[in-house]
């Protein structure tokens, strides 16, 4: 486990250095954060409005909301499958640091798990992040309550 | 000590390395020469366990690279021809990462980082991000990383590429001093002058086969018509091999 954490350390160290010592200005970062937050809130409002409309459709409403959720999950699944495959090829076989890591006494298991974690994080974080407002909208419309977020935290990763 | 026993590496039908046999004793600097595409880098990558050989054995120290790769790598340092450094890490962070991969304890790691940065004149840059380093500085940092765990064997691929004369001189002196302290150095290079200057023994590889191996005097005695320096001997040997393969094909 220590070796896996060590192999992942350049990623978070690079992120930390880029954040605190990188060239991009704070105004640019704040603009990007505002843009992401607007997008996140926009998704939430649109999905909530669509679900509210479904609720008004006599008898078919719950089925429509259910089918809509299935389509969203299927879309996410396909996107994640494809992006994970592409990212895995790149991190396992084409990464520029392969020579450096392979020349060191690192066990194949540690190497595999470190690459697996970095592949999963790199290719999935954005889908996960932008799926949250959709699930939050479902929670809000159907009264999911706090338990919904508990299950989401358990199931989504 | 380095031993390559009948080492072969095929890419499909192409034999990049073909039945290579050689031995380098402890404390020796072995120069590995050859034209482009001769199989130098493939040999080195199989030695470091980055590529799996098609057949044959590689012994580093007392460890077989295929059977005990982690033990073999623990006693070896590697300086690749196109080294990679994480650009967003500082020099100190990069060396600490490599040192931890080699399981150095914190006290020894800090001591080695300070020693090596001082030796290769990078101390003032230790906290700067690698992206701000010049090409020569990056190469010196890679040398630091390869030596961080005090390896008994050092495998070097084209060490002087784009290095300024002062950096090249420092590196040559460093290799000599390491060899004096018992480190075995396997040095692949295009630069005949470097091989002539610092290597105790030289091997010449052509089309995956070792066509000459020995001290300068021994290699001179293997060629007819080549006068004086290693360059003319090298060219004569390559020409002889090409003529021989032309005769065989006709």
- Cross-sheet strand order for the sheet of B14-24: B14-24, B2-11, B55-60, B63-64
Beta carbons of A104 and B86 less than 8 Å apart: no
pLDDT of residue A49: 93
How far is it, in rounded angstroms, from Cα B166 to Cα A7? 34
Backbone angles phi, psi at B111, to 5 degrees: -65, -45
Nearest CA in chain A to B74: A105
Q: Is the Cβ–Cβ distance between B60 and A79 less than 8 Å?
A: no
CA distance A111 to chain B (A): 11
| Nearest residue in chain A measured CA to CA from B68 | A105
Which tens digits make up the pLDDT trace of A90-149? 999 999 999 999 999 999 999 999 999 999 888 888 888 888 899 889 888 888 778 887
pLDDT for the residue numbered A122: 87
For β-strands B2-11 and B14-24, DSSP reports them as antiparallel
In the predicted model, is pLDDT for residue B195 greater than 80?
yes
Percent of chain A with pLDDT over 70: 96
Q: Which residues make Cβ contacts (< 8 Å) with residue A104, sequence separation at least 6?
A: B73, B98, B101, B102
User: How high is the pLDDT of residue B105?
Assistant: 94
Contact of B4 with B43, CB cutoff 8 Å = yes
pLDDT digits over A32-52, tens only?
899 999 999 999 999 999 988
User: What are the start-end ranges of the E strands in chain A?
Assistant: none
Q: Considering chain B, what percentage of its residues have pLDDT values greater than 70? A: 94
Higher-confidence residue of A60 and B110: namely: B110
Q: What is the pLDDT of residues B97-134, one digit of tens each?
A: 999 999 999 999 999 999 999 999 899 999 999 999 98
- Which of the four pLDDT bands, split at 50, 70 and 90, describes residue A1? low
Under a CB-based contact definition with an 8 Å cutoff, are residues B163 and B171 in contact? yes
Angle, helices B135-147 vs B165-180, to 10°: value is 10
For the sheet with B209-214, list strands across it. B76-79, B153-157, B184-189, B29-33, B201-206, B209-214
Find chain B residues with C-beta within 8 A of A96's C-beta: 84
- Over the stretch A67-105, which tens digit does the pLDDT of each residue have? 888 998 899 889 889 999 999 999 999 999 999 999 999
Query: Is residue B225's pLDDT more than 60?
Result: no
Annotate B185-199 with b (16+ C-beta within 10 A) or e (fewer).
Answer: bbbbbebbebbbebb
**The pLDDT value given to residue B128:** 93
CA atoms of A104 and B14, how far apart (whole Å): 28
Inter-residue contact B7 to B17 (CB < 8 Å) = yes
Average pLDDT rounded to a whole number, residues B65-73:
94
What is the CB neighbour count within 10 angstroms for residue B245? Answer: 12
Residues of A in contact with B127 (CB under 8 A): none
Q: Using CB atoms, which residue from A15, A96, A106 is nearest to B101?
A: A106
Tens-place pLDDT, residues B78-99: 999 888 999 999 999 999 999 9
Contact: A6, B97; criterion CB under 8 Å: yes
Averaged pLDDT score across all residues of chain B: 89
Question: DSSP character for B163?
Answer: -
CA distance B205 to B35: 8
Question: What long-range pairs does A109-116 form, CB within 8 A, spacing at least 24?
Answer: A110/A3, A110/A4, A110/A7, A111/A7, A113/A4, A114/A3, A114/A4, A114/A7, A114/A8, A115/A7, A115/A88, A115/A91
ipTM: 0.85
Instruction: Please report the beta strands in chain B, taking only residues with DSSP state E, as ranges in sequence order.
Output: 2-11, 14-24, 29-33, 55-60, 63-64, 76-79, 153-157, 184-189, 201-206, 209-214
Q: What is the pLDDT of residue B227?
A: 61
| pLDDT(B192) > 70 | yes
Length of chain A: 157
Burial group, residue A93, by CB count within 10 angstroms (0-12, 13-18, 19+): exposed
The whole-number pLDDT of residue B54 equals 95
* Beta bridge partner(s), residue B77: B154
User: Is 0.95 surpassed by the pTM of this model?
Assistant: no
A60 by Cβ neighbours in 10 Å (0-12 / 13-18 / 19+) ranks as exposed
Going by their DSSP bridges, the two strands B63-64 and B55-60 should be labelled as antiparallel
Interchain CB contact of A24 with B (< 8 Å): no
Q: With bands split at pLDDT 50, 70 and 90, how would you rate the model's confidence at B145? A: very high
**Smallest Cα distance from B240 to chain A, Å:** 35
Contact B73, B49 (CB under 8 A): yes
Contact A96 B84 (CB under 8 A): yes
Q: Kindly report the backbone phi and psi dihedral angles of residue B35, in degrees, each rounded to the nearest multiple of 5, phi listed first.
A: -70, 175
A21, pLDDT greater than 60: yes
Confidence bin at A157 (pLDDT 50/70/90): low
Report yes or no: B27 and B183 within 8 Å, Cβ to Cβ.
Answer: yes
């Amino acid at each position: 486990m220590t070796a896996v954490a060590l192999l992942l350390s350049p990623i978070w160290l690079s992120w930390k250095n880029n954040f605190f010592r990188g060239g991009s200005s704070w105004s640019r970062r704040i603009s990007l954060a505002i843009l992401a937050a607007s997008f996140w809130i926009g998704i939430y409002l649109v999905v909530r409005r669509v679900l509210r409309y479904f609720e008004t459709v006599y008898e078919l409403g719950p089925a429509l909301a259910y089918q809509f959720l299935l389509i969203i999950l299927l879309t996410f699944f396909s996107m994640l499958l494809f992006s994970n495959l592409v990212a895995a090829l790149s991190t396992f076989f084409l990464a520029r640091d392969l020579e450096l890591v392979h020349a060191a006494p690192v066990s194949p298991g540690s190497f595999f798990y470190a690459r697996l974690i970095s592949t999963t994080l790199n290719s999935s974080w954005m889908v996960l992040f932008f799926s949250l407002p959709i699930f939050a909208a479902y929670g809000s419309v159907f009264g999911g309550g706090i338990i919904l977020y508990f299950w989401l935290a358990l199931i989504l990763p | 000590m380095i031993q390559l026993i009948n080492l072969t590496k095929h890419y499909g039908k192409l034999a990049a390395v073909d039945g290579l046999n050689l031995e380098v004793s402890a404390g020796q600097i072995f120069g590995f020469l050859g034209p482009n595409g001769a199989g130098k880098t493939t040999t080195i990558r199989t030695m470091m366990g980055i590529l799996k050989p098609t057949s044959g054995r590689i012994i580093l120290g007392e460890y077989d690279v295929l059977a005990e790769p982690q033990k073999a790598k623990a006693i070896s340092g590697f300086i690749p021809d196109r080294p990679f450094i994480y650009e967003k890490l500082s020099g100190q962070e990069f060396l600490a990462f490599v040192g931890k991969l080699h399981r150095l304890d914190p006290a020894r790691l800090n001591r080695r980082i300070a020693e090596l940065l001082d030796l290769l004149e990078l101390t003032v840059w230790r906290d700067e991000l690698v992206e701000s380093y010049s090409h020569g500085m990056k190469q010196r940092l890679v040398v630091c990383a390869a030596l961080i765990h005090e390896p008994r064997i050092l495998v070097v691929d084209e060490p002087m590429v784009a290095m300024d004369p002062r950096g090249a001189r420092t590196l040559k002196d460093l290799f000599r001093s390491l060899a004096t302290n018992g480190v075995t150095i396997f040095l692949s290079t295009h630069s005949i002058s470097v091989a002539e200057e610092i290597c105790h023994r030289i091997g010449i590889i052509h089309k995956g086969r070792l066509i000459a191996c020995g001290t300068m005097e021994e290699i001179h005695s293997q060629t007819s018509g080549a006068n004086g320096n290693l360059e003319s001997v090298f060219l004569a040997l390559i020409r002889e091999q090409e003529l021989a393969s032309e005769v065989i094909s006709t």
